[in-house]
Amino acid sequence: MNNEDAVSEVVGEMLMIALVLVLIAVFGASISSFIPNERDPSITFMMTTNDDNITLWHKGGDWVRVSEIIVTVRNDTVMHRYDHTAFTVYPETPTIDLGSAITIPNEIQGPEEIRVFTPRIVLMTGRL
């Protein structure tokens, strides 16, 4: 007496499991296109200056880690580059946010271009 009914039930269940696994893989691959990309920060700065310092006040926009900020000051002949170890931040926090300020020394005389940027984006470009 041959009983082959159990084999067809096992094959059917294996096909259903394979179909579910394929559908999960397709759904997982397509859902990644709906996740939003990381956006670049946007900041509005107000610049004040005196003979000794240039101060950049955060007046609106996103927060940025101080360790990522780089400031360059240049004219036609000289360029100075300041990272988080060379400028001061008020208040002393790991991020710059609304109301914070970056103060850098004013070492260049004459028409100056100031650029504030992170490794991903230029946050501000201005002239004195």
Which pLDDT tens digit goes with each residue over 77-88?
A: 889 999 999 999
Which top CATH class is 43-127?
mainly beta
Global pTM reads 0.68
List the chain domain ranges: 5-34, 43-127
> Is 49 in a helix, a strand, or coil?
strand
Alpha carbons 65 and 84: distance in angstroms, whole number: 10
Q: Could you read off the pLDDT of 16-45 as tens digits, one per residue?
A: 999 999 999 988 888 877 877 778 888 999
**For residue 69, pLDDT beyond 90:** yes
Beta bridge partners of 102: 56, 89
Query: What b/e readout covers 5-43, taking b as 16+ CB neighbours within 10 angstroms?
Result: eeeeeeeeeeeeeeeeeeeeeeeeeeeeeeeeeeeebeb
What is the distance of C-alpha 62 from the center of its chain? Answer: 10
